Chains A and B, each alone.
Chain A
Amino acid sequence: MTLSIGLIVNPVAGVGGAVGLKGSDGADVQAVAFDRGAVARAAERSQRALSVIAQTHPDTTILTAAGDMGEASVLAEGLTPDVVYRPFGSVTSGADTTKAASALALAGVGLILFAGGDGTARDICGVDLAGAAVLGVPAGVKMYSACFAVSPVAAGAIASRWLTGERLPVSSREVLDVDEEQIRNGRVHAVLYGMLAMPVVPGRTQSRKSATSGSQLGAVRTAAAGAVARMEQGVTYVLGPGGTIDEIARLLEVDGTLLGADAVRDGDLVLADATERQLLELVGAGPSKVVLTVIGGQGFLLGRGNQQISAAVLREIGDDPLMVVATEEKLIDLGGRPLLVETGDPELDAMLAGYSEVVTGPRTTSLYPVDAPESEGTI
């Protein structure tokens, strides 16, 4: 993997937030936002990330897109831009983000920094990145996705370590986005759009009192192995979307659908990329359980990116319908916030709320609180 870094700035990311528009997707909304006096913050936030690189690697060339899409930020921090993509016209769109990501991948960058929000991440995750890792500089209004650094400067520091040649572990993170029009109408319908490979600075036990490999992938595999070890004969397991669940499919040697719901029974795939209707029929036919992981950065188990696993499906399964699987790191990243369920059925949500066993390995679980924001019966 090459050490070179690419940058994409979504110039309009975040403009909708400060003026109460719940997002910034689409030219119409952006026009309204600017009318209301919104200031684009992506450029400034990308510069804060770049300022770290400028300090540690002042001679670095950053591959980027022309003008507001990156070149201006790179120049502002005294770094050298190498423009690999030029948008047509002065107003850029999501298509420009996609094309810029493609051009950066083609140019062979190892790490793509992007300043934006969920919409920007979504525009990038559909692109064949030829193995490049991606790191979000948080600059959007919505950030349900799990591919952002905690701050722009933190993103810059990770990029700086990347440039130094440090082999940072890469973790597969979910990209979620919601239809902003629906949020404005008071509903959230987040869709899982894909996964991005994000470099992470692993936690270390500095004194090495305990020998932990710190390998994120190892932890995901251990959690997945824990789920497989708990599977019982004759029970149908609906495998939800996400990287951890995909690892279960890999361990079972079935072709799982990364972004969809599959079903397995006794180690065999019985349904791939199922719809809600298919799932209803299947779970009605015999004992079943839904295997889920935490989707995105907000802690959602249900209601974000896995709507085919509906309230009706869960009700059909009956008592104790879930097996939750996640790495300890994923729970810790929630910073004490609970897991969330939002099935659209407040009564069911209340039943699922409380404490959930989270499988973290073959003989380890964590007991973690689950909250139901749409229900009265939350803890």
Chain B
Amino acid sequence: MSLPIAPKLSLRRFHEARWDEPIVFELNTPGERGVLVSRPEPDLLSTVGDVVGALPSSLRRKTPAALPEMGQMRVLKHYLRLSQENLGADLNADIGQGTCTMKYSPKVNDALIRTPSLTELHPLQSEDTVQGILEIIWATEQMLAEISGMERVSLQTSGGSAAIWANIAMIRAYHEAAGQGEQRDEVITTIFSHPSNAATAKTAGYTVITLYPDADGYPDIEAFKAALSPRTAALMITNPEDTGIYNPRIAEFVDLAHSVGALAAYDQANANGILGVTRARDAGFDTCHFNLHKTFSTPHGSGGPGSGATAVSDKLVPFLPGPLVERDGDRFFLDSDRPMSIGKVAPFYGVVPNIVRAYAWMRSLGAEGLREAAEIAVLNNNYLMKRILEIPGASAPYATGRRRIEQVRYSWQELYEETGITSEEMGVRATDFGVHYWTSHHPFVVPQPFTLEPTESYSKEEIDEYVAIMTEVAREARETPDVVRTAPHNQTVHHIHHDDLDDPERWAPSWRAYQRKYFAGDDG
């Protein structure tokens, strides 16, 4: 007797939903309303008078906002449909979003932040009425200080790059305070460090010197020595870099920076493989930052606001952005009287819901649990690497034969030379099986790159399924390359060209830009 349901194939027969859903503005139906707001009662009206008229004219719209007019049910359907035309950490094995640390964000923590005692808070409330949330911010800071070995932490920034910016802004203020602001006009970084290090340093007015890896994939220490001078303001470096290779000489790099009077900033956006194993301060760093939305489980920027944490050694404490949460006995308060501070880098005191999520996540795991998360993440990564390298045509450039930390930047170059199929085409085809991958940060140092980071969240079964999909797509690249080249076939959309996304004259990140760039001629 056969089963009532046929057994599942080893590769799932995935098909994404395809709703062919219009853009929300195209659903505009004049007169439709989502909510009918009742008219105020006559008594109320006469008591408060003309509320709108009391607003200064600079705050009043001259013309109503051009929002789509839609019934409530249509709005709901619109967004539900879009949510089905999607991949993400809660839906698929999100191993392919390397460098992003797509781990599970426990739903119980989302329940916590929906409690009215949090949602009803206002950032301008009196300190006496918000002691609870101030304590959580303070305690989160203490835990991150312990994890990094640093003296103090600011949780004000609302993203990783903003935290890197805060780091370089503090370094600049530090050198200025020491009378060396003009002398120190160079920042050294590495090509496998996150590009925000170079970008924020440039924004802060520095000349940026980029180091290339040596033959083993480590930042070239001889090049670093050659780059250092009395002009050096800082070393800004990621470790492990995007390759997942941990730099064993990192303390030596920091010492060399200090020997010329420069500071050392550690990009720990992704600290997932080293939690409880190494500490930035123990390697001598003066400042580091974390992304709560990576290592500490809170949702990513594209799924909710991110959150950065800026940690510093004692010499940079006066320059921390602020205000800082301070403790006086059992009472917590905001200290804004910090004359050397670089000032506010975000409104108020941070992305509070994410601080609460990260706090809850750390408290639920404890110190041992945090280290175990890192160990499992590293184990998962090295298991995944072994399996991926069994696929003909895949390689892991640099540090051949050695273990990696939390992620690996792989290369399909051999497969590309053999088949002409690019890494990007491989990644698009993978979406036909319900997964995806990310290629690389700019610039593409590793040819035909793909970057995988399994984190601790995924089971062996999910990692095996991911590997099976990569194996299948690589087989197709050899045997039926046209299937790969013309992919996706089972997705929300078919093959698209990227030309419009690469040309500033044609890309349209908003409805308004779309109207302006494509239809401006139509009405005038």
A156 touches B420 (CB 8 A): yes
Is A2 interfacial (CB 8 A cutoff)?
no
Asked whether A329 lies within 8 Å of B447 as measured between CB atoms, the reply is no
Is A363 a contact of B207 with CB atoms below 8 Å?
yes
Q: Is A56 an interface residue (CB 8 A)?
A: yes
A376 sits at the interface (CB 8 A): no
Assess A154 versus B416: contact at CB under 8 Å? Given A365-B207, A367-B209.
yes
In the complex the two chains form, what is the Cα distance from A203 to B411 in whole Å?
13
Of the four ranges (under 10, 10 to 19, 20 to 34, 35 or more), the interface on chain B belongs to: 35 or more
* Minimum CB distance partner of B444 in chain A: A203
The interface centre, meaning the residue of A154, A167, A214, A360 with most chain B CB atoms within 10 A of its CB, is A154
Contact of B212 among A166, A331, A379 (CB under 8 A): A331
A162 / chain B contacts, CB cutoff of 8 Å = none
Q: Mark A76-89, 1 if CB is under 8 A from B, else 0.
A: 00000000000000
Q: How far is the CA of A363 from the CA of B206 in the complex (A)?
A: 7
Chain B positions within 8 Å of A206 at CB level: 424, 427, 438-439
Asked if A182 CB lies within 8 Å of chain B CBs, one says no
| In contact, B501 and A335 (Cβ under 8 angstroms) | no
Whether B128 sits at the interface, judged by CB under 8 Å, is no
Q: Does B445 contact A (CB under 8 A)?
A: yes
**Are A363 and B208 closer than 8 Å at their CB atoms?**
yes
* Chain B min CB distance to A6 (Å): 19
Q: A365-B207, A367-B211 are in contact. Are A214 and B418 (CB under 8 A)?
A: no
Residues 358-375 of A, flagged 1 when their CB comes within 8 A of B and 0 if not, give 001001111111000000
Shortest Cβ distance from A379 into B: residue: B222
Contacts of A185 in B (CB 8 A): none
B249 contacts the other chain (CB 8 A):
no
Report how far A215 CA is from B504 CA in the complex, Å: 11
CB of B499 within 8 A of CB of A166, answer: yes
In the complex, the answer to whether A355 meets B222 with C-beta atoms within 8 Å is yes
Across the interface, B420 reaches (CB within 8 A) one of A160, A207, A210, namely A160
- Roughly how many angstroms separate A204 CA and B498 CA in the complex, as a whole number? 10
Q: Please pick, from A160, A202, A205, A357, the residue contacting B441 in the complex, using a CB distance under 8 A.
A: A205
- A: interface residue count bin: 35 or more
Is the pair A336, B497 in contact by a Cβ cutoff of 8 Å? no
Given A210-B442, A331-B212, A332-B445; A354-B226 close (CB under 8 Å): yes
With an 8 A cutoff between CB atoms, is B481 at the interface?
yes
Q: Does A233 contact B (CB under 8 A)?
A: no
Q: Measured between alpha carbons, how far is A204 from B213 in the docked complex, in Å? A: 21
> Closest CB-CB distance, A10 to chain B, in whole Å?
21
Q: Give bound CA distance, A153 to B209, whole Å.
A: 36
Q: With A154-B416, A332-B443, A379-B222 in contact, is A366–B504 under 8 Å at CB?
A: no
Asked if B97 contacts A207 (CB within 8 A), the reply is: yes
- Tell me if B482 counts as interface (CB < 8 A to partner A): yes
Report the bound CA distance from A1 to B218 in whole Å.
Answer: 44
CB 8 Å contact bits of B465-504 with A (1 = contact, 0 = none): 0000000000000000110010000000000011101101
Give the CA-CA distance A204 to B209 in the complex, in Å.
23
Contacts of B440 in A (CB 8 A): 203, 205
Residue from A154, A204, A354 within 8 A of B424 (CB atoms): A204
- Asked whether any CB of chain B lies closer than 8 Å to the CB of A157, the reply is yes
Instruction: List chain B residues, Cβ under 8 A from A366.
Output: 191, 209-212
Evaluate contact between B416 and A357: CB separation under 8 angstroms. no
- The answer to whether B502 and A210 touch across the interface, beta carbons within 8 angstroms, is no
| In the complex with contacts A150-B417, A210-B441, A332-B443, A367-B223 CB distance below 8 A | yes
A204 to B447, CA, bound (A): 11
CA distance A332 to B401 in the complex (A): 23
Which residues from A are CB-within-8-Å of B223? 355, 367-369
Confirm or deny: A316 has a beta carbon within 8 angstroms of a beta carbon on chain B.
Answer: no
| A52 at the B interface (CB under 8 A) | yes
Closest to A354 in B: B226
Residue A90 CB within 8 A of the other chain: no
How far in angstroms is the closest Cβ of chain A from B407? 14
Residue B198 CB within 8 A of the other chain: yes
In the assembled complex, how far is the CB of residue B465 from the closest CB belonging to chain A, in whole angstroms?
21
Question: Knowing A367-B211, A369-B223 touch, does A55 contact B482 (C-beta < 8 A)?
Answer: yes
- Find out whether the CB atom of A367 lies under 8 angstroms from the CB atom of B443: no
**Do residues B441 and A367 form an inter-chain contact, with CB atoms below 8 A?**
no
- Please tell me if the beta carbons of A203 and B482 are within 8 angstroms of each other in the complex: no
Q: CB of B215 within 8 A of chain A?
A: yes
Residues in B whose Cβ lies below 8 Å from that of A167: 499
Closest residue of chain A to B226, judged by CB?
A355
B109 close to chain A: CB less than 8 A:
no
For A150, the closest partner residue in chain B by CB is B417
A323 to B202 CA separation, bound complex (whole angstroms):
21
Residues from chain B with a CB closer than 8 A to the CB of A212 are 442
Distance, CA A206 to CA B499, complexed state (A): 13
Cβ–Cβ contact B502 & A154, under 8 A: no
- Whether the pair A204, B439 counts as a contact (CB closer than 8 A) is yes
Q: Contact at A154–B212, with CB atoms within 8 Å? A: no
Q: State whether the Cβ of B195 lies closer than 8 Å to any Cβ in chain A.
A: yes
- CB atoms of A364 and B207 under 8 A apart: yes
Q: Is the CB of B226 within 8 A of A157?
A: no
Q: B422 at interface (Cβ–Cβ under 8 A)?
A: yes
**Residue among B191, B213, B502, B504 having the largest count of chain A Cβ atoms under 10 Å:** B502
Q: B482 and A56: CB pair below 8 A?
A: yes
CA distance A213 to B424 in the complex (A): 17
Query: Do the beta carbons of A335 and B424 come within 8 Å of each other?
Result: no
Listed A/B pairs (19) with beta-carbon separation below 8 Å: A52-B420, A150-B413, A150-B416, A150-B447, A154-B420, A167-B499, A205-B440, A206-B438, A210-B199, A213-B504, A328-B191, A328-B443, A336-B213, A355-B226, A357-B209, A364-B198, A366-B212, A368-B212, A379-B222
Further 13 A-B residue pairs, CB within 8 A, beyond A203-B439, A336-B215, A365-B207: A150-B416, A151-B420, A153-B419, A154-B420, A157-B420, A157-B485, A203-B442, A213-B504, A214-B502, A367-B220, A367-B223, A369-B223, A379-B222
Q: Which 7 A-B pairs have the closest CB atoms?
A: A157-B420, A203-B444, A151-B417, A355-B226, A153-B420, A366-B210, A206-B439
Chain A residues engaging chain B, CB cutoff 8 angstroms:
52, 55-56, 150-151, 153-154, 156-158, 160, 165-167, 201-210, 212-215, 328-329, 331-332, 335-336, 354-355, 357, 360, 363-369, 379
